[in-house]
Copies of this chain bind each other. A is one copy, B any other.
Amino acid sequence: MNSLQSNSINRQVTLAARPNGEPKPSDFKLVETAIPTISQGQVLLRTVYLSLDPYMRGRMSDAESYADPVAINGVMVGGSVCRVEQTLNDNFKQGDWVVAFGGWQDYCVSDGVDLLKLPEQLAQKSYALGILGMPGLTAYMGLMDIGQPKEGETVVVAAATGAVGSLVGQIAKLNGCHVVGIAGGAEKCDYAVNQLGFDACVDHKSAGLNDALKQACPNGIDVYFENVGGAVFDAVLPLLNTKARVPLCGLISQYNATSLPDGPDRMGALMGRLLVKRIKMQGFIVFDDYGHRYSEFSDAMSNWLQQGQIKYKEHLVQGIENSADAFIGLLKGENFGKLVVQVGSENLAG
Q: What residues make up the interface of A, taking CB atoms closer than 8 Å to B?
A: 58, 64-66, 226, 229-230, 233, 242, 248-251, 254, 257, 259-272, 274-285, 288-289
Contact = CB atoms under 8 A, between A and B. Distances in A.
A9 to B, nearest CB: 37
Contacts of A262: 263-265
Contacts of A268: 229-230, 233, 251, 254, 257, 260-261
B280 A281 contact: yes
A235 to B, nearest CB: 13
A10 B145 CA distance: 53
Nearest to A242: B66
Given A260-B268, A279-B282, A280-B281, 17 more contacts: A58-B276, A229-B272, A230-B268, A249-B275, A259-B264, A262-B265, A263-B264, A264-B265, A265-B265, A267-B267, A267-B270, A270-B270, A274-B283, A278-B284, A278-B288, A280-B282, A281-B282
A270 to B, nearest CB: 5
A174 to B, nearest CB: 26
Contact of A272 (B254, B261, B275, B288): B254
Nearest to A259: B264
Contacts of A272: 229, 251, 254
25 contacts: A58-B276, A64-B276, A65-B276, A66-B277, A233-B268, A248-B275, A251-B272, A259-B264, A260-B266, A260-B268, A262-B263, A262-B265, A263-B263, A263-B264, A263-B265, A264-B265, A265-B267, A267-B267, A267-B270, A277-B283, A278-B284, A278-B285, A278-B288, A280-B281, A280-B282
Nearest to A238: B64
A251 B270 CA distance: 11
A285 B277 CA distance: 9
A271 B226 contact: yes
Contacts of A226: 271
A271 B66 contact: no
Contacts of A248: 271, 274-275
Copies of the protein in its oligomer: 2
A231 to B, nearest CB: 11
Contacts of A66: 242, 276-278
B289 A283 contact: no
A260 B56 CA distance: 34
A58 B25 CA distance: 52
Nearest to A65: B276
A230 B272 CA distance: 11
A280 B229 CA distance: 17
Contacts of A233: 268, 271
B278 A274 contact: no
A265 B266 CA distance: 6
Q: Which 10 A-B pairs have the closest CB atoms?
A: A263-B263, A260-B264, A275-B283, A266-B267, A280-B282, A274-B283, A261-B265, A248-B275, A278-B283, A267-B270
A238 to B, nearest CB: 9
B271 A229 contact: yes
A214 B178 CA distance: 45
Contacts of A279: 282-283
Contacts of A289: 278
